[in-house]
Amino acid sequence: MSIRLLPQTLINQIAAGEVVERPASALKELVENAIDAGASRIDVVMVEGGRSLLSVTDDGSGMNPDELSLCVQRHATSKIQDEDLFNIETLGFRGEALPSIGSVARLSITSRTEEGENAWCLRVEGGDVADVEPASHPKGTRVEVRDLFFATPARLKFLKTARTEMNYAMDVMKRLAMCHPEISFSMSDGTRSMLKLPATHGDFFEATLERLRGIMGKDFAENAIKIDAERENLRLTGHISLPTLNRGNNALQYFFVNGRPIKDKQLYGTIRAAYRDFLAHDRHALVALFIEIHPRAVDVNVHPAKAEVRFRDANQVRGLIVSGLKQALGGAGHRASTSVSDEALRSMRPNYVADPRTAELARAITSHNGGANVGHFVPPSYEMRESAAEFQAPLSGFDAPPQANVHESSDQAMPDSMMDYPLGVARAQLHETYIVAQSGDGIVVVDQHAAHERLVYERIKGDVEANGVKRQGLLIPEVVELDEADAGRLINRAAELEELGLVLESFGSGTVVVREVPAMLGAKVDVQGLVKDVADSLVEVDEAMSLKDKLMDVCGSMACHGSIRAGRRLTLDEMNALLREMEATPHSGQCKHGRPTYVELKLKDIERLFGRSG
Ligand SMILES: Nc1ncnc2c1ncn2[C@@H]1O[C@H](COP(=O)(O)OP(=O)(O)O)[C@@H](O)[C@H]1O
Ligand SMILES: [Mg+2]
């Protein structure tokens, strides 16, 4: 066999192997081109999952006939200036997409510039380029791709069902739309609208959040924390979810670098690190983060489909993300996601029907029972009170449950100043586990153990940061028996643990003796349980974490031992002190596992619950 140069079409088909993996990747290239062309609206039609037709119409700059015939040539691009690959400000730059698509499909590009008297159309079929012809089209460009992969049948076999391909395409659209709220996007499958995102304008954060609402949902928009952090030549903006709004996977974590959606495994890890105090290992936050970085500090030419980038200083980027997010999460104070109380209310509604099919059934039944509303319980004629405050029935007037710890003083009117506390004023303790408080416009139910655990944790953390932990000596040193490996791990970290207030040393194989414990854990600390938990958390601690992170992780398990157990009776003063401390403590709205520490039910929601309004 002799060496020869491959024909152009084959070269393009080889490139297409990387650039046009599936309809969604062709779509990505076409929509990116429309964005680069300065479009203000982009409309996509995708029939049969993009197999039979994929069309992208924009109102951008358009191309004149000369540009049209050039754009399908390999490595023809208008986007690289001064031969500089490290100063790219557009999404495209490789000049490969159109020739690649043209080599594996039937491609037609119709385009008209501002100055053009009419539009022009160019067709390419399996790599054969036809002459440019006059056509009619408003300013902008319409690219139609028919019979994708007809020229490379092997590729065709790899396509999944139309629905799956459509889902991939939707993901591409969403990612691109998220970083361009100023552009309106639509997508249909030829008959049905799949996505409609009108342009949003105004303040950057508001416009972005509005766009994110359309894509990540109402819950996210209502429970998002704004991120705006800066360091040297790096800026981080965007929105992240309150920890109490979380998911079982990281599908709703989106990253953008200089307006380019990217996927980066390390960034997922970075988010985990930022949330590690607030979420269980198997729960994931929702984030949309936009990184702006000097084009010279990032290499965008490391992936054929431009889905990955390489930072010159990845640690700097990760550092900014972790510190920016932690700071924002701290600023969120005791705020917990509204979805928590929404969920609580939903499960309380007397005849709540969660499953839409059941709802359908319920509607069908009601239509035959004289119209009584099944989904919405309406109590028999109930006199409406002027205001809910008037209706403060003394709790003791009811048959109090056996375990209710009700405080008579709570029947007295609250001073106005007390009503201003976000978490309200404690009224009762129920089941020796829950504190019930009355706030200005609702009821707050606090899980005393979860809340206190968080407070102790934050206190230890703050204390460690400020001046190390105070220790208290045990009158009688306590011997704890563990297995060999656990004891070894504890002894290895004895110096770090000492900083945390836990002083222990080896006491023969698999045994340690504890001499001092953190003072804040109180006199009745369960030393055995504490040491075993600390040993457990050292197993989970992975090598990549910083020393401080490790210490904090250990704090977490210590906090658990120092906190008020469920089942402990509290006085009204103790309860109120807990509420006030929650208000003043960052992150107190959730426990270490992302579960809420309290739920607030607004009066208006409670009224709805009883069918008293709307
Ligand atoms: N929708 C469009 N509107 C205006 N010009 C376009 C459009 N799509 C493509 N072009 C032009 O065609 C060129 C080649 O496109 P493409 O093959 O995607 O390569 P790249 O985007 O990397 O430059 C672009 O540089 C641009 O000048
Ligand atoms: Mg392109």
Candidates 71, 101, 112: which one to mutate for ligand 1, based on the most atoms within 8 Å of Cβ?
71
Contact by Cβ (8 Å): 444, 424: yes
578-588 pLDDT tens trace? 999 988 888 88
Ligand 1 midpoint to CA 85 (Å): 17
Predicted pLDDT of residue 593: 75
For the entire predicted model, the pTM comes to 0.69
DSSP code per residue over 542-555: -TTS-HHHHHHHHH
Q: Which residues of the chain have pLDDT under 70?
A: 336-337, 339, 345-419, 520-523, 537, 539-566, 613-614
Enumerate long-range contacts of 565-573, CB under 8 Å, 24 or more apart: 565/449, 566/432, 566/433, 566/447, 566/448, 566/449, 567/432, 567/433, 568/432, 568/448, 569/405, 569/429, 569/432, 570/405, 570/429, 570/435, 570/448, 572/407, 572/409, 572/410, 572/426
Tell me if 104 CB under 6 Å of ligand 1. Answer: no
Place of tokens 């709540």: 352
- As a whole number of Å, the CA-based R_g of the chain is 31
Q: What is the pLDDT of residue 337?
A: 67
Q: Which long-range contacts (CB under 8 A, 24 or more apart) does 547-552 make?
A: 547/496, 549/273, 549/276, 550/493, 550/496, 551/464, 551/496, 551/499, 551/500, 552/277, 552/461, 552/464
Q: 428: part of which helix (H) or strand (E)?
A: strand 425-430
Query: How is residue 310 written in tokens?
Result: 């390489």
Distance (Å, whole) CA 436 – CA 406: 10
| 504-539 pLDDT, tens digit each | 999 888 899 999 987 766 667 778 878 887 777 676
Å from CA of 77 to ligand 1 middle: 6
- For 41, which DSSP code? E
Q: Which ligand is nearest to the CA of 99?
A: 1
Chain centroid offset of residue 241 CA: 5
Q: How many CB atoms sit inside 10 A of residue 353's CB? A: 16
Q: Give pLDDT tens digits for 386-397.
A: 222 222 223 332
SS3 197: strand
- Asked if 12 and 127 count as a contact pair (C-beta separation under 8 A), the reply is yes
Question: What is the identity of the amino acid at 95?
Answer: G
Rounded Cα gap, residues 215 and 185, in angstroms: 12
Structural contact between residues 534 and 490, judged by C-beta atoms closer than 8 angstroms: yes
Candidate from 18, 33, 36 with most ligand 1 atoms within 8 A of CB, to mutate: 33
3-state secondary structure of 144: strand
Residue nearest ligand 1's atom 12 by CA: 71
Q: Is 550 in the pocket of ligand 1 (CB under 6 A)?
A: no
Token pair in block for residue 283: 């729960």
Query: Residue 290: beta bridge partners?
Result: 237, 256
Q: Please, which residues bridge with residue 581 across strands?
A: none
Whether residue 27 contacts residue 54, with contact meaning beta carbons closer than 8 Å, is answered with: yes
